[in-house]
Structures are given as C-alpha cells and as structure tokens.
Structure 1
Amino acid sequence: MTNSQEKNSAAPQTLVESAVNDLIKYIRENHLKVGDPILSERELSEKLGVSRTVVREAFKVLAAMHIIEVGAGRRARVRKMEGSVIALMMSQAVHTEQMSTQQVWDARRTVEARSVELAAIHRTQQDADKLLQLVNTMRDSEDDPILMTQTDLAFHSTIAKASRNPLYPILVSSLTSAMIEFYPKGWRTLSDKAEHDAMVNRHQKIADAIVKQDREQAVIAMAEHFNATILKIIDNGLT
C-alpha cells in the first residue's frame, strides 16, 4: 500500500490533523514570513497525497488558529501573530471555572512586572507622551466606568508595546481579555473620589517612572498597583 493509500484509509479527522501538521511543517521548512503565499489547494493536495477537501479543511483549521489567512479569490497567506485565540481560550477557562480571576491577575502581575521594566528601558518619547495623556484621561473620567476601562486597557497595552518585545502585547491582551467583564465592575467598586484618585495616582507613578526611565521604580510602582487591585478584588468578592 502506498503512503497516499495509507493516508486515505485513515479516519477523515486524522487526515485533516495530519494535513494541518504537514502545512505547519511546510511553512517552517520553507521559511515563510508574514504575508507570504502558501501553495494552492491543488498543489498541496498533490504534494501531501490527500484530497483537496482535506486540504480545504486543514486551511479552515489553521485560519481559525490565526496561523494563516484565507480570502475568496486569492491564495492563503501566513498571518501576523496576534492573541485572540489565546484570549478566547483563557476567557472560556475563567467562565467554566477552570481558573479564577485572582489567578489571572496573578499571572498578569508576573508578565507586567517584566513588561514595565523593559518599557522603562526602551520607551520612546511618543510612548511617554501617550502614557501621560492616558493618565490624564483616567483622572477626568471618574463618573464613566466604561471610559475608565478603555483607558486603563490602553495604558497597559501601551506599556506592553513599549517593551519592544512582541510577545508582551499578546500576553497582556490575552490575560486582560480573560477578565474584561471585571473592569467596569472594578472601577464601580471605588466608593468615593479618594479611592478613585488613589487608583489613578498609582497609574501616574507607573507612567512617571517610565518617563524617567527608572526601571526599578517602574517595577515597584507596578507591584503596588497590582497589590492594591488584587486586594480590592478580594474585598469585593470579584473572584
């Protein structure tokens, strides 16, 4: 029996899984980069010894995993790395009680401690200006939890991008998305202006340390922020 016959005698799902692995191997072995085209369905069908239907299903799997992008009338291409699949997985884990909000926060604390340190080293003037602007927006948005949430997310995203490590924006975004529903609730639990101002001031300290490129103070300020936030989560039963 030939290799092709052996493949086609397997269960359909196994064929698709095999084709997915073969396609990933093909991308790596041919050193394809973001935006580079992949062989057509016909070419891959011949190369892998499977039907075009199997290749098409493998394309769908890889597209769902955001490894490739497919579009009508054009060849599939290697897709840029992003974290929506990881975010969905983590969000589902929280909602199905496989992990808690506190555990996600704990993981974020570790990631952001390093992220803020690198941001203090590598930040540009544009990064610094944006962080200060975001803090000002937070300060002026006491009565708008939705705007506060959006600004808070943008603040941490800006720090992650300023780290100049492309993995940190994905990790921060994914971990944040897992508990996105908490954010407006969290801001609403700040009982008075003093609590709100204290939270904003902690963000201000982080921004100021990054602006000054003081990596040690940036890490300390981020730790203080997470300590206060996690205590607030516990106090309000937002687990």
Structure 2
Amino acid sequence: MDLRAILTDEASALNGVPKQSMKDFVVQKIATFIATGVLDVGDPMPSERELAAALSVSRETVRGAILILSTKGILSVAQGTRTVVASTEVGDLAVQSARFRDISGYSLDDVHEARLLIEDQVARAAAVRIEPATLDTLRKSIAAQEAASNDPVRFLICDREFHTAIYRAGGNAALADMAADLYSYLLDHRRRAVAQPASIATSIADHRAILAGLEAGDPEAAAKAFAIHETRIYTTTQQLLTQSARKR
C-alpha cells in the first residue's frame, strides 16, 4: 500500500468519511498539527515545497489546503511573506481534536506505559505485514527529516507521518488510532524537546533502527527499536516537565 492509500485509509478510519480528497485531508493534517501544539499562533508554516515533501503530496495539494485554511482565518497568507498560523480555533477540522483533549488528561507515566504496550504490538505486526511501497515512504520520510534537522516544527510534521505510516502498516485500525492518539500527547513539550542540541539527530537515528527492523521483517528488532525511541521521548519530556515545575 502506498502513502496515498495509507492517508486515504487513515482519513476514513478516523472520520468515517470515504473517498476524502487529498486536499481536504491535508487540511485536517495541518489543523491537527495546530490542535496538538506542533504549530501555534504566529508560527510560520513550512514552505509549500517543504510541506509537500513532509506529507508526500503535491505542492498543488498543499496550496489548496492552505487556501482553505486561510479562508477560515486559521492561516494568514500575505504576498511576499511566509504563511503563518493566525488562530488555534480549528473546530472539527482536526482529525484528533476531541480525542486529543481526552488524552491530555492522563499522566505522562500512564501514557508512556500505554505507548510501550500498543507500539510493541503495532511494530511487531508492521514488521510482518509492511509493504515495499510503505518501506520506501519511510525511507523518504527519513530523508525529509534530515532536511529538517534545524527546524523542530517541520521535523515534527515529518515525525508524525513516519509514525502514523507504521501504525497503519500494522493492519489493525483500532490499534493504529490508539497509537496516533497517544503520539499526540504533550506535543507542545515535544516541540521544545526536539529543539535541544542533537535531539533531532538522535530521533532520526532511532527511526533508522526502527526502519532496519521493519526492512528485515524482524518483529523483535522493530519492537525493541520502538521501545528505545519511546523511552527516550518519555525521558526528555519528563525532564522538561521537571524544569518547568522548578521555574514556578
């Protein structure tokens, strides 16, 4: 299954809307980045080219999605300047907005434990079921991540696409949805974490280890690499929360 099919399946599973256009789905993707804290008011958007590469869609699709969001007042587009986030009031556009609000009420430890359990199952299933086209998509995603090594926002956009492609490759829509929801937990803190020196490079190395396990069709290796990556996310997020508490 290629990425276009994965995206279409994800949209249908999350919203119950079949045959959704790629443009509308990119609208939901961008709205979700805003709803979950990857993007905030005043943040410049990645360029059309960068966003198209991160989401594996055409620049025309990205351009259409940005136009829709600008007419709703969510993005601000001005000639000769970068498009910026104008509002976080995305309403029902974000595919995870309602569930994200529920997930945000859990503790970091609970979410960490849940992610370890669910991602273990997803990674093992993906190692057995993943298609060559999806592996190629993951390789391209890592290349896009490397191009975003100095841009935490763009990296997180690529990062989410990398994770959700693997969640879908596991073949269980319910587990994929749960994993995607848990991934979105405290993304505003995750954005701060990946801005730390060497953080993005370390995450990319983790992603390469995950990809190697999937390429080898090795469930144990894929699950182990996922666990190492998730534990690293947990540790850096915990450190940020502790630092924030000390400053109060």
* Smaller-chain TM-score bracket: 0.5 to 0.7
Q: Taking structure 1 as reference, are residues 179 and 156 closer, same or farther at Cα in structure 2, changes over 3 Å only?
A: same
Q: Taking structure 1 as reference, are residues 143 and 86 closer, same or farther at Cα in structure 2, changes over 3 Å only?
A: closer
Q: From 224, 227, 230, give the equivalent of 2:231.
A: 227
**1:1-239 pair list within 5 angstroms:** 88-92=98-102, 94=104, 98-188=105-195, 190=196, 192-193=197-198, 195-237=199-241
Q: Taking structure 1 as reference, are residues 110 and 181 closer, same or farther at Cα in structure 2, changes over 3 Å only?
A: same
TM-align CA RMSD: 2.7
The Cα of 1:210 is off from its aligned counterpart by 0.4
TM-score, structure 1 length as denominator?
A: 0.57
Percent identity between matched residues is 18
Q: Taking structure 1 as reference, are residues 165 and 228 closer, same or farther at Cα in structure 2, changes over 3 Å only?
A: same
Q: How many residues align?
A: 155
TM-score, structure 2 length as denominator?
A: 0.55
Work out whether residues 91 and 177 of structure 1, in 8 Å CA contact, stay in contact via their aligned partners in 2: no
Q: Taking structure 1 as reference, are residues 216 and 141 closer, same or farther at Cα in structure 2, changes over 3 Å only?
A: same
**Separation (CA, whole Å) in 2 of partners of 1:208 and 1:87:** 32
Larger Rg over CA atoms: 1
Q: Taking structure 1 as reference, are residues 145 and 68 closer, same or farther at Cα in structure 2, changes over 3 Å only?
A: closer
Highest RCO, 1 vs 2 (Cα 8 Å, sep ≥ 6): 2
Structure 1 stretches of 5 or more lacking a match? 1-64, 70-83
Q: Taking structure 1 as reference, are residues 135 and 86 closer, same or farther at Cα in structure 2, changes over 3 Å only?
A: closer
Work out whether residues 112 and 234 of structure 2, in 8 Å CA contact, stay in contact via their aligned partners in 1: yes
The Cα of 1:68 is off from its aligned counterpart by 9.3
Aligned residue for 2:187, secondary structure, equals coil
Q: Taking structure 1 as reference, are residues 161 and 85 closer, same or farther at Cα in structure 2, changes over 3 Å only?
A: closer
Work out whether residues 120 and 227 of structure 2, in 8 Å CA contact, stay in contact via their aligned partners in 1: yes
Work out whether residues 87 and 173 of structure 1, in 8 Å CA contact, stay in contact via their aligned partners in 2: no
Work out whether residues 119 and 159 of structure 1, in 8 Å CA contact, stay in contact via their aligned partners in 2: yes
The residue that corresponds to 1:22 in the other structure is: none
**Separation (CA, whole Å) in 2 of partners of 1:159 and 1:68:** 22
The Cα of 1:181 is off from its aligned counterpart by 2.6
AA paired with 2:189? F
The Cα of 1:90 is off from its aligned counterpart by 4.4
1:141-189, CA deviations, whole angstroms, 9 ceiling, x for partnerless residues? 111111111111111100011101111221122223343333322211x
The Cα of 1:211 is off from its aligned counterpart by 1.2
Aligned residue for 1:143, secondary structure, equals coil
